[in-house]
Structure formats: C-alpha cells, structure tokens
Structure 1
Amino acid sequence: MPHGEYHVGTQNDLSIAVTFWFYNHSKSRILNKLSEAIREQYFVSNSEPLYPDLNNLENTDGIEDTLKLI
C-alpha cells in the first residue's frame, strides 16, 4: 500500500482480511524515522540544563525531570 494511503473495508456479513505490508528499509533508517517523528511531535524546546541524577540506580525519583522533556 503506498505511503500515506489507507483502506477501510466494510461488510455486512462475516469477513476476514489478510494484509501484507513490505518495508524494504534498513533497521537504522526505520529507527531514525521513528526518532524523528517522536522528536517532532513531543519534544518541547527548552534551554534549561538537565542536571545529572545522583540517586542510586534503584531510585527512579529523578526520572521526572527527564520525562518533562517530552
């Protein structure tokens, strides 16, 4: 199916559909596209520094500052 297209199927009776999608892209290209989409949609630009989390590895209290970036 071409990029940007979609298909909606409807049927009054029982219906089964099987779809195969082939993406012949490298793993790094897909990861780059995914990272770019996340950055464009969710990243909030901010010049305030993100200070190091000095808590023990088991302590996740410092994660909130990092999560605020998105």
Structure 2
Amino acid sequence: MLLCIDIGNTNILLGLYEGDVLGPHWRLATVHERMPDEFAMQLLALFNYANIAPAQVTGVAIASGVATLT
C-alpha cells in the first residue's frame, strides 16, 4: 500500500493506494506550528479509524509546497 501526502499551505491531503485504486483518504488543515509528533499521532489515529495497520504501508510519496513542513 502506498501512502501519498500532498502538503499545501492550506491543506494536507493524504491517500492510501492499493495499486491504482485509491482507498481511504483524508484532508487535514495545514498547521505550521504543529510538531512532528503531533502529525504522527494524527496519522496513526486516521489509520486506526480506517482499520489500517501502519505495517501495511510499503511506500510513501510526498509532494510539498511548504518547505518548513517537509
């Protein structure tokens, strides 16, 4: 499963792909003051809500227009 993350100035888009099929996906507000641990906890909560184990993710793709959050 591929985790795709698009970090923008207003929103952070996240999606899980199994092959070409988009599975669970989310839109979060971009909060520049948020610490890395807070992002990790939020991501784990979203995975838990979708019944996805982090070990199911085999790759990550990140696109970012916000250097401070990359």
Q: TM-score, normalised by structure 2?
A: 0.30
Structure with a larger share of its residues in strand: 2
Which has the larger Rg? 1
